[in-house]
Chain A
Amino acid sequence: MININTLLSSLVLSLMLALSGLASAAEATNATQMIAEAEVMNKAAGEIGYEWRDTASYIADAKKALADGQEDQAYQLANEAYEQAKLALEQGKLMRENWQQYIPM
C-alpha cells in the first residue's frame, strides 16, 4: 500500500529543493508589504493556471489579522502565502516547459 503522506512529503520536499535558490526571497519588512508581495506573486501563479488552493485564504487571513492589529501573525500568514505562490509559479513554469517528460510509460 502506498503511503501517500510519505509520497506527498517527498514530492513537496523535492519540489522545494529543486526550486530553492531559483526565486528571490521576499524583501518585505512589514505585514502590509508582505501581503502586497504575496498578492503579486499569487496573481502571477494564477495567470499561468497554477495557483494553489489555499494561498488566497492565507492572504485573506493575513489581512484580517492585520486589521485586528496582529502584525506578527499577519506577517507570518502573508509570508506563508508568498512562499506558496512562489513555489506555485515555479511549478507552473517548470511544467509548461517540461510536461511531456512526465507522461508515464
Chain B
Amino acid sequence: MFTTRIQLTLSLTVATLVASACMPMSKKVGMDYPALVQDDVTTFQAFFEKRFPDTEKADYINGVYSIDADARSQWESLEEFPPYELSVDQGKALYETPFANGSSYATCFGDGAVRSQYPYYDEDRAMVITLELAINECRTANGEKVLKYKKGDLAKVSAYMSFVSRGQAINVDVASEGAYNAYMDGKEFFYSKRGQFNISCADCHMRATGFYLRADVPSPGLGQTSHFPTFRTKWDALGTLHRRYGGCNENIRAKAFSAQSPEYRNLEYFQTVMSNGLVFNGPGSRK
C-alpha cells in the first residue's frame, strides 16, 4: 500500500498516454451535473469503504477517530468536558447580542440551526457561500465590522450555529454549470500535488489515511468538513475549517491561501459534496 511512492516521472508518462481520454468535459453546457457529481461521490465513498471495511459510513464524521481506536478512547475521554463547550456558550451570547442597529444574527439566520444550508453556490454572485462568509455578510449588512475568519468571535458564532444544527444531513446540490465549475475547481485543488513536499490533499487523506505519517495517522478525507469549527489541543482554541486548510498547506510547505479565498471556498464545497449523506456534527475537538 504505497502508491505515493510512484515516481513522478512515471506518472507523467502515464498521464500523457491517458490524458486525451480522460480530460475534463466540465465546461460543456447542458450536462447532467447532479449525475456526474453523484458518480464522484459514490467512487469517493467507496474508496474509504474498501480501505476501512469495519468503519460504519456514518462514523466518518468523527475523523481519525473513526479508524483509530486508541486515539478514539482518548478523544471520548476529552469529550466528557468538551473543550469547545465554553466557546459554544460564548458563541450563543454573541449570537443573541443585538447589533448597534437593533437587529442581530437571528435577523439573518433565525434560530441559527442553518448549518446544512452551507456551503452553497450562489448563482447570482457566481460564487460559493460558506457559513463563515455568510456570518460576516450578515454583520456588514447590519453595519457591523467584519470579524477575522480563522478564530475568535466568528469561530465561536459558527460553533454555536453548528452546535444547534447537529445532526442535520449533509446534502449539497451541484445543479448548474457555475456550481459544477466551482466544484471542479475544488476537486482539482484536492487532487493536485503542491508545495515543496509535492503532496496533495488526497495523498494524505486518501492514500496515506490509516497509516502513520511520522507520528500521525492522517484522517480520512470523507467527513472532514462535518465537524468544524474545531477546538484543537495544539491551538488551545477554536479554529475554522479554513484555518485548518492553511495549516495543512503550510505543513506540505505550500504558501497558504487566505481564509475564504475562492480556492478554499471551492475546496470546502467539493469536500462537503463528497460527504453528502453524512451529518454535520460540529463543533469538534481534535488533537
Number of B residues, CB within 8 Å of A: 44
Q: Tell me, yes or no, whether A18 is within 8 Å of chain B by CB.
A: yes
Measured between C-beta atoms, what is the minimum distance from B245 to chain A in Å? Answer: 13
Q: Which residue of A lies closest to B263 (CB)?
A: A49
Contact B255 A52 (CB under 8 A): yes
Quick one: given A1-B211, A99-B191, A101-B18, are A51 and B254 in contact (CB under 8 Å)? yes
Q: Mark A41-84, 1 if CB is under 8 A from B, else 0.
A: 00000100111111110000000000000000000000000001
Q: Tell me, yes or no, whether B195 is within 8 Å of chain A by CB.
A: yes
Specify which chain B residues have a CB less than 8 angstroms from the CB of A46 in the assembled complex: 255
Specify which chain A residues have a CB less than 8 angstroms from the CB of B23 in the assembled complex: 100
Contact A4 B213 (CB under 8 A): yes
Contact B7 A14 (CB under 8 A): yes
Specify which chain B residues have a CB less than 8 angstroms from the CB of A101 in the assembled complex: 11, 14-15, 18-19, 22
Q: Tell me, yes or no, whether B140 is within 8 Å of chain A by CB.
A: no
Q: Tell me, yes or no, whether A17 is within 8 Å of chain B by CB.
A: yes
Quick one: given A14-B9, A53-B254, are A102 and B195 in contact (CB under 8 Å)? no
Quick one: given A50-B254, A52-B196, A101-B18, are A2 and B11 in contact (CB under 8 Å)? no
For chain A, residues 6 to 33, give those with C-beta under 8 angstroms from any C-beta of chain B. 7-8, 10-12, 14-15, 17-18
* Interface size range on A against B: 35 or more
Query: What are some 26 contacts across the A-B interface (CB < 8 A)?
Result: A1-B211, A2-B213, A4-B213, A10-B7, A12-B197, A14-B8, A17-B8, A17-B9, A46-B255, A51-B254, A52-B195, A53-B249, A91-B193, A95-B188, A95-B193, A96-B188, A98-B11, A98-B12, A99-B188, A100-B24, A100-B191, A101-B14, A101-B22, A102-B11, A102-B192, A104-B202
Interface residues of B (CB under 8 A from A): 2-5, 7-9, 11-12, 14-15, 18-19, 22-24, 47, 188, 191-200, 202, 206-208, 211-214, 249-250, 253-257, 263
Closest A-B pairs by Cβ, 6 of them: A95-B192, A101-B15, A51-B255, A14-B8, A98-B15, A53-B253
Interface residues of A (CB under 8 A from B): 1-2, 4-5, 7-8, 10-12, 14-15, 17-18, 46, 49-56, 84, 87-88, 91-92, 94-105
